[in-house]
Chain A
Amino acid sequence: MRQGTEWEPKLVGFLCKWCSYAGADLAGTSRKKYPANIRIIKVPCSGRVDPLFILKALRLGFDGVLVSGCHPGECHYQTGNYRARRRVAITKKFLEYVGIEPQRVQASWVSASEGGKFTEVVAEVTKGLKEIGPNQLFSQERQGDGTKAT
């Protein structure tokens, strides 16, 4: 994919089924316009998201990842989103240190009634991704030998 006016980023959203997923649904049914860039994966709780999921999505070539759950204090399982918050926070910061643009890993709190906020979040994240361009972090010509030893 070449960067240019026609290029549209691809984004994976891990959305908590109790809130953000319903929020996305609401945005859809109330015909709010949000960028079609997001592919949604429903998770039982934002606390389900292993940072590994984020890395795997980037490895598969997605341009960005959004983790979205219930606002603090509103987790269906009491503390799932608090745990997600710590995990996402260290992941985001750590990936930045390793050299992954911070725009690629995003997180938000979106409740079931916040269809509008969901639309805004996706639009903002997409805009950020357009600014930094396609994810070419892991790309390389597919070949047999990646080591120096040979």
Chain B
Amino acid sequence: MSSKKKINKKDIGKLLSRWSQQFTVLAPSMESGVATMAEWDGKDTSFLDWYRNTVIPPKANFFPPMEEMFSFQKDREGYHIELPLVNEHKQLIFGIRPCDAKALAILDMTFEEAYEDPYYLAKRNSAVLVGLGCTNPYDSCFCTSLGISPAESTDVDLMLTDIGDQFLIEEVTDKGKELIAKTSGLKEATETDEARAKEAKETSHNKVTRKINTEGIEDKLLACFDDEDYWEKIAAKCISCGICTFLCPTCYCFDINDELVKQQGARFRSWDSCAFPLYTKMPMENPRLEKWRRVRQRVCHKFEFYPMTFNVIACTGCGRCIRLCPVNWDITRVLESLPVKV
């Protein structure tokens, strides 16, 4: 084990300034009442007081709501394709929560698999994640049911834990270790600090009270896959909007669209959602025209199909889909009420 460091909370601004010289530092930011990970303004660290989690998940920093894939232009010789300019500056995300860091690890599986996704991976591979443990999880959080602890993470490069007036800093990856080696102004953590951190982690863990039972969840879902009455009942109040999927840290579905104005055009990719009726529409038919099929797809994709393929549930219990749902549709209630006993 490498030695652990610590930093005074009031010195976080200095730390971020230092890192800003090397990285584009992103930190929790409140704009028009919406918490996002946005470029740090160079001074404001008030987020340490209000930040619980962002509305827009950090996936948006790697897989944005929309991005240009390439542009094209036509001249006498035909079409020419050009890639957008890549921002050479590496991102450092400060304050990512363990649930959202885990979500990125889950997204990596899809975006790295077989055909690498160059847009996502370019941003992802160059980024540094600095995790910040939760001290005040929401009542909608249920990360502990998915093997995540609100103040512990192996999916970040560095992990910070609140130990009163200071943060304990743990190096999780080699990338994190290198960064710490180059960062001056940190103090060595004492055994007392480490003991405090351990206690803080436990306290946070116990604050997550919402639970789901994931044992045998794949089999349960498989068993009730064809129970149309159940899914219809579950889906009744869903309004088929895209909130739960767009703001889910592990949802990655996207759409691809072109635009052409006067021989010049571009291809964009943007978030798409399995909740939308037209998502699967083909000219002659639509396999998921009915709402209950779409709701089933969302639940099963996360808790049945993704585990079948990648051996991990594509949900990290961040609770955004519960908090932000216009009709308080609650995935934890649904999983509780599956009409099978295994």
Contacts and interface: CB of A to CB of B under 8 A. Distances in A.
Do A and B actually bind?
yes
Interface of A: 142-150
A149 B61 contact: yes
Contacts of A146: 66
B68 A150 contact: no
B147 interface: no
Interface string B28-70: 0001000011100000000000000000100011001111100
A41 to B, nearest CB: 19
State the main secondary structure of chain B at its contact with A. strand
Given A149-B61, A149-B64, A150-B60, A144 B36 contact: no
Interface in B194-224: none
B68 A145 contact: yes
Indicate the size class of the contact surface on chain B: 10 to 19
Contacts of B65: 147, 149-150
Contacts of B64: 145, 147, 149-150
A147 B31 contact: no
Contacts of A142: 71, 264, 266
Contacts of B36: 148-149
B84 interface: yes
B306 interface: no
Q: Which 8 A-B pairs have the closest CB atoms?
A: A144-B68, A149-B60, A150-B64, A149-B56, A147-B65, A144-B67, A144-B84, A149-B36
Contact of A143 (B37, B60, B68): B68
B252 interface: no
A144 B56 contact: no
A60 to B, nearest CB: 8
A144 B264 CA distance: 14
A149 B38 CA distance: 7
Nearest to A143: B68
Contacts of A148: 31, 36, 38
20 contacts: A142-B264, A142-B266, A143-B68, A143-B84, A144-B67, A144-B68, A145-B64, A145-B67, A145-B68, A147-B60, A147-B66, A148-B36, A149-B36, A149-B37, A149-B38, A149-B61, A149-B64, A149-B65, A150-B61, A150-B67
